[in-house]
A and B are shown apart, each in its own frame.
Chain A
Amino acid sequence: MPVRLIRVDALILDNQDHYYLDRNDQCYFIGEYTARRGYKFSETNQLIFNLKKSPQLRGTNQWYWKEQAIAQAGRLLRTVLTVGLNQDVLRQTVFVPVPPSKARGDPLYDDRMLRVLDELSRGLDLDVRELVLQRQSTSAAHERDDRPTPEELAANYYINDECREPVPTNVIICDDLLTSGSHFKAMQSILGDAFPNVPIAGVFIARRVPQTDDPADTNAVI
């Protein structure tokens, strides 16, 4: 059982896997998602795969695995965030899920991250808020070739006025998978505008290690 988060530090940023992030961003993750080759041996790969199961599978026996994954992800977050820590510190933090690609009301709307955070909060009474909502549904990032930039994503985001108060003093943006970092940057920008000078960090269940298909990569001279 992991007990510590891993910081996306200079060593990881050097690989250019999360090219929208820079050294000032405070982003952390638990595991590495490496399933692009179809291997699903690792617990992390299996967890992310199950978390991302489409809402179309609701009512099928596949759904059981999604529910399990949501509970497991919540427990994992709870472990890494609470070990050895004063829970009062956690209660001063607002946990904000990255909105899913489909907006509320869309039949494919998937509130998995909100539910993961509810699971994290269970018994701890943390401040979980859907502070950022999305105007229109988009294709899930992994379904499209032209991945949206942080600016494009931010243009589709708005602050949910219903839960603006009390004004947060600390924000942790939460998502299941860190890919290019575009969603984090979009969230950071819109939350930064709404709540200037509030420290914002990102916590992810896993970071994605992209497959580089060019064998020359390992021989590349820098």
Chain B
Amino acid sequence: MAAVAQVLSTNSVSPLREMGAYEALWAKTSATFKRLADRFRLHPEAVPSDFVDPAVADKFALQAIEILKRARVTRFGVLVHGTGEYPERLREAAHPVELLYYQGWLDLAESQCVAVVGTRAPSSDAAKRTRSLVRRLVADKFTVVSGLARGIDTIAHETAIAEGGLTIAVIGTALSRAYPAENRALQRRVAHEYLLISQVPIIRFTHQGPKQNRIFFPERNVTMSALTQATIIVEAGETSGTLVQANAALKQGRKLFILDSCFRNPGLTWPARLEKQGAIRVKEYDEIARHLAS
């Protein structure tokens, strides 16, 4: 082999090939984020294509692209661990992902990011609190990160955009899908003007049912926490998926803020429990701002 080709092929990745290899690894029914992460832990320098036959990877890549094209996703990229723009902070997740799909403006991932998350069915008070919180975050130049779910997430993204701020959505579906469907336009807007991130394998997601796909939602909360310097919980029920993110934030050494109103709800046990584990109870934004600055 010519030396130049040898130098470069040894030290490079092809995004298409890695994407196909990632999809192929996920095609095995036994695949989970944990199992994949365990495998890569044993081979820290590896990339997905080290474990998949190139012809197989290329076949899967074309299939995934076909699905994206049908969903009218024509412009997207992949972030591969070990290459330039992969956010190193993501390695602090319990099962770090080797590859992420994205659409939009990657440099937002390196801005000062704070996640605002909560219930899909917020009270009117919680909706109001979310809006005022996001306004203050935007005024302080934080990028508002959320999960594009119904409720608090949607309000967080919409308020950030309306206030002229920046936002990132870390979604629990493949790039080819918007969930809930009513957020399709918002998802497109985030993808085009801001940053949309998904770790969900496209082919697996498309071929299995909604029930099996539920596993992807909590996993994205772990990634969202790892991506951000803090998570703020506005309102969440006793069994909310938001609590996955809360636990991940504490485990990853991120700041976790819980609004005081959650503590005042007698039906909830999680606020006190998380406070004992290190979460910060806050009455107003200024307290959050002080902690973020320290």
- B-contacting residues of A (Cβ < 8 Å)? 2-7, 9-12, 15, 26, 28-32, 34-35, 37, 39-45, 80-81, 83-85, 89-90, 92-93, 169-172, 199-201, 203, 206, 209, 212, 215, 217-222
Contacts and interface: CB of A to CB of B under 8 A. Distances in A.
Contacts of A5: 8, 11-13, 83
B9 to A, nearest CB: 8
Contacts of A199: 2, 4-5
Given A45-B107, A170-B3, A222 B85 contact: no
Interface string B1-24: 011111110111111110100000
Nearest to A82: B11
8 contacts: A5-B11, A9-B14, A15-B75, A31-B85, A42-B85, A42-B110, A93-B4, A222-B72
A39 B105 contact: yes
Contact of B84 (A44, A81, A84, A212): A44
A11 B106 contact: no
A85 B15 contact: no
B75 A4 contact: no
B13 A7 contact: yes
B41 interface: no
A44 B281 CA distance: 37
Contacts of B86: 2
Contact of B2 (A85, A90, A170, A220): A170
If over half of A's interface residues share one DSSP class (helix, strand or loop), that class is named, otherwise mixed; here it is mixed
B188 interface: yes
Contacts of B108: 39, 41
B13 to A, nearest CB: 5
A41 B188 CA distance: 22
Contacts of B78: 11
B107 A39 contact: yes
B192 interface: yes
Contacts of B188: 218-219
Interface in B53-78: 61, 65, 69, 72, 74-75, 77-78
B84 A32 contact: yes
B47 interface: yes
B82 interface: yes
A11 B8 contact: no
Interface string B176-205: 000000000000110111000000000000
Nearest to B189: A215
Contact of B3 (A32, A89, A212, A221): A89
B14 A40 contact: no
Nearest to B188: A218
Interface string B126-168: 0000000000000000000000000000000000000000100
A13 B253 CA distance: 39
B107 A203 contact: no
B7 A93 contact: yes
Contacts of B45: 3, 84
A102 B189 CA distance: 40
A28 B77 CA distance: 15
B75 A93 contact: no
Contacts of A34: 105-107
Given A4-B13, A218-B192, 8 more contacts: A6-B14, A15-B75, A26-B5, A32-B106, A41-B109, A89-B7, A93-B7, A212-B75
Contact of A11 (B3, B19, B47, B193): B19
A12 B19 CA distance: 12
B277 interface: no
A126 B266 CA distance: 70
B265 interface: no
A37 to B, nearest CB: 7
B11 to A, nearest CB: 6
B107 A41 contact: yes
B123 interface: no
Nearest to B105: A34
Contacts of A37: 105
A128 B4 CA distance: 14
Contacts of B103: 218
Contacts of B83: 2-6, 30
Given A11-B15, A90-B7, A220-B74, A41 B82 contact: no
Please give me the 9 A-B residue pairs with the lowest Cβ-Cβ distance, nearest first: A42-B107, A31-B84, A170-B4, A11-B16, A5-B12, A41-B111, A2-B84, A9-B14, A92-B3
In this complex, the member of B8, B10, B15, B16 whose beta carbon has the largest number of chain A beta carbons within 10 angstroms is: B8
Contacts of B109: 41-42
